[in-house]
């Protein structure tokens, strides 16, 4: 026979598994008429706690009918992060929330590097 705390934990974890699956993190892909695929994704955070205790019926006669007491709880947060856009022009990440100035600078860095590289290569071609 399983210990009551393991049954309590197993039941709670099964319920969490039902709430949080891969479709919660990565949503269903959406196809547009232009051939672009949009995939939503989220950040999922969850917490879980279980506890219990056994009581000696000889020492606590009031507890004879209930020698074990326990409880468990869980919490889940789903926060949209963004959309992965896959199309003819490439793959892009569209954030679901406003960015801070630093986040905007970091996400713009690859395009900035490409623009600078293009300017220098155009300048070199003109010199040749």
CA distance linking residue 80 with residue 43, whole number of Å? 6
Q: What distance, in Å, lies between the first and last C-alpha atoms of the chain?
A: 85
Burial (CB count <10 Å: 0-12, 13-18, 19+), residue 13: middle
The structural domains of the chain, with segments of one domain joined by +, span: 4-97, 98-128
CA distance linking residue 71 with residue 108, whole number of Å? 49
pTM for the whole structure: 0.48
Query: Residue 97's CB: how many other CB atoms inside 10 A?
Result: 10
pLDDT in tens, the chain (128 residues): 566 777 777 887 787 777 766 666 678 888 988 889 999 888 888 888 888 877 666 665 554 555 777 888 778 788 888 888 998 888 888 888 776 777 777 777 777 777 787 777 766 666 66
């Amino acid at each position: 026979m399983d210990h009551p705390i393991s049954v309590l934990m197993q039941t709670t974890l099964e319920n969490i598994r039902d709430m949080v699956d891969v479709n919660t993190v990565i949503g269903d892909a959406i196809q547009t008429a232009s051939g672009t695929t949009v995939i939503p994704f989220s950040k999922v955070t969850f917490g879980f706690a279980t506890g219990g205790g056994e009581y000696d019926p000889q020492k606590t006669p009031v507890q004879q009918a209930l020698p074990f007491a326990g409880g468990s709880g869980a919490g889940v947060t789903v926060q949209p992060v963004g959309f992965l856009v896959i199309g003819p022009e490439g793959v892009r990440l569209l954030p679901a929330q406003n960015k801070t100035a630093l986040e905007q600078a970091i996400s713009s860095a690859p395009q900035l590097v490409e623009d600078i590289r293009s300017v220098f290569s155009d300048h070199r071609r003109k010199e040749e």
